[in-house]
């Protein structure tokens, strides 16, 4: 058991050393997906902008909230939700989709996790341009709380790393996991504070306290709006990271040699 954990940790160190390769593969994925397109991944940004503006105009009237308050919350929340939901949706098939590589060569499995994370982070940075326009339009000028978005995003990405690895391992063994996650993502969209604000249900509501996505959104959205994330969001997210990373590392150590046979 100790030897397996040691090999798993060595894979993580090797993944970090191969970060340039992972970034190259991630950028290559984006170029292939949008080849012969004039504006490439900015199509995602345009479609997101249209969706947010249309939804924001309607929902701000439904919730009887000023557009200057509702639209920035919706835009920032939907931006980070898009990254989180995409990672969740891709996680069960992250190894299955790379079966050709895994069957033909000996390669570190964690490279594909890093590759998926890097690809969605790059797309996230493209989409962040729209948030900058929204902030300028509603005169949300940078203040010191915006600095907290950096550690907030880093903490969320670390959590997404172990979540993707965990579901990737389970998904390689049980193919039914993929449609289950797809359905779960749809449910999470409606029960998470993306199209609605936490104050509408009360900050002590079980919909928020039992929903990890709510803590992730608070860490990333609040600094964008010049608000300090709640201390509970930091503590819960760090706790999820420690427990999840530990469990996933043990699972990976036990099953790393079996994944290639499952796919």
Please indicate, yes or no, whether the overall pTM of this predicted structure exceeds 0.85: yes
For residue 17, is pLDDT > 70?
A: yes
Q: Which of 92, 91, 96, 15 lies closest to 261, judged by CA?
A: 96
Residue 33 sits at the vertex; the CA angle it makes with 28 and 37, to the nearest 5 degrees, is 110
Q: Are the CB atoms for 255 and 166 separated by under 8 Å?
A: no
**Cα atoms in the 13 Å half-sphere on the side-chain side of 236:** 17
For residue 181, is pLDDT > 90?
A: yes
pLDDT for the residue numbered 144: 86
pLDDT for the residue numbered 58: 87
Give the Cβ contact number of residue 188 at 10 Å: 19
DSSP character at residue 34: T
pLDDT in tens, 183-192: 999 999 999 9
Whole-number Å distance between alpha carbons of 230 and 221: 11
Q: Which of 39-43, 113-117, 124-128, 253-257 has the lowest mean pLDDT?
A: 39-43
| Phi, psi (rounded to 5 degrees) for 233 | -65, -40
Give the C-alpha distances (Å, rounded to integers) separating 85 from 2, 146, 182, 194.
34, 23, 9, 12
Please state, for a pLDDT cut of 70, what percent of the chain lies above it: 96
Q: Which of 193, 32, 40, 10 lies closest to 109, judged by CA?
A: 10
pLDDT in tens, 113-169: 998 898 888 888 888 888 888 888 888 888 888 899 999 999 999 999 999 999 999
Residue 82 sits at the vertex; the CA angle it makes with 80 and 84, to the nearest 5 degrees, is 70
For residue 245, is pLDDT > 70?
A: yes
Give the Cβ contact number of residue 214 at 10 Å: 22
């Amino acid at each position: 058991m100790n030897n397996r954990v040691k090999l798993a940790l060595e894979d993580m160190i090797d993944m970090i050393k191969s970060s340039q390769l992972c970034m190259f593969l991630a950028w290559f994925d984006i170029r292939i997906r949008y080849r012969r397109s004039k504006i490439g991944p900015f199509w995602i940004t345009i479609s997101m902008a249209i969706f947010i503006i249309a939804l924001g105009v309607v929902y701000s009237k439904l919730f009887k909230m000023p557009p200057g308050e509702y639209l920035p919350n919706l835009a920032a929340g939907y931006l980070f939700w898009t990254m989180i939901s995409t990672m969740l949706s891709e996680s069960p098939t992250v190894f299955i989709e790379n079966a050709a590589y895994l069957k033909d060569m000996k390669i570190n499995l964690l490279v594909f996790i890093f590759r998926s994370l890097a690809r969605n982070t790059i797309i996230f940075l493209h989409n962040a341009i729209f948030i900058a326009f929204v902030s300028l339009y509603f005169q949300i000028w940078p203040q010191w709380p915006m600095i907290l978005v950096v550690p907030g995003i880093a903490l969320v990405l670390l959590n997404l790393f172990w979540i993707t690895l965990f579901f990737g391992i389970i998904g390689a063994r049980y193919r039914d996991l993929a449609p289950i996650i797809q359905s779960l993502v749809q449910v999470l969209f409606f029960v998470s504070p993306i199209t609605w604000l936490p104050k509408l249900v009360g900050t002590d509501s079980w919909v928020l306290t039992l929903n990890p996505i709510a803590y992730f959104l608070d860490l990333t959205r609040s600094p964008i709006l010049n608000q300090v994330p709640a201390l509970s969001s930091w503590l819960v997210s760090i706790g999820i990271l420690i427990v999840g990373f530990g469990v996933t590392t043990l699972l990976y150590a036990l099953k790393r040699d079996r994944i290639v046979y499952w796919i």
